[in-house]
Amino acid sequence: MSGWWTCLEERACQEADENVLRDRRPTAVKAVWEALRPLGVGVHEAEQVVHARYEALGDRVRHSPPAPQPLQAVWLLLRLCGTVTPSTTGSWCWSRCWTTRLGTAI
């Protein structure tokens, strides 16, 4: 474990562990960094402390499912609607994305 963990106050340790257990890595890093910043610790070291906490807490961490990629979400939606061929899906996605960017959504 990182030696910086022992420098944290109890409140900061609890906050970091709560965030790690909920799989809120950025919030945990921010809590550690803000607590250790007066000691000259940078964000990289705070990330290492949080990484060590993930390893220490192991299976207790409730990992969030990864968010679907936009194209995967569109593909799933089109499959559910009955448009299952890659060629029709690709052309629909292309025209939808292109016209949405131009501000003239279909």
My answer on whether 55 and 10 are in the same domain is yes
The answer, yes or no, to whether residue 105 has pLDDT greater than 50, is no
The verdict on residue 65 lying in a domain is no
In a 13 Å sphere around the CA of 50, the CA atoms on its Cβ side amount to 28
My answer on whether 76 and 27 are in the same domain is no
My answer on whether 85 and 38 are in the same domain is no
Instruction: Report the number of distinct structural domains present in the chain.
Output: 2
My answer on whether 10 and 47 are in the same domain is yes
My answer on whether 88 and 47 are in the same domain is no
- Report d(CA 17, CA 57) in Å as an integer: 8
The verdict on residue 94 lying in a domain is yes
My answer on whether 54 and 90 are in the same domain is no
- Give 56-85 pLDDT, tens digit per residue: 999 999 988 877 667 766 666 666 666 555
- Report d(CA 78, CA 73) in Å as an integer: 9
Q: 3-class secondary structure for 14-53?
A: HHHHHHHHCCCHHHHHHHHHHHHHHHCCCHHHHHHHHHHH
- Give 5-20 pLDDT, tens digit per residue: 999 999 999 999 999 9
Dihedral sign computed on CA atoms, order 66, 67, 71, 72? positive
The answer, yes or no, to whether residue 53 has pLDDT greater than 60, is yes
- Coil, helix or strand at residue 62: coil
- Which residues neighbour 31 within 8 Å (Cβ) at sequence distance 6 or greater? 12, 15, 16, 19
My answer on whether 52 and 76 are in the same domain is no
The verdict on residue 75 lying in a domain is yes
- Which domain range does residue 84 map to? 70-102
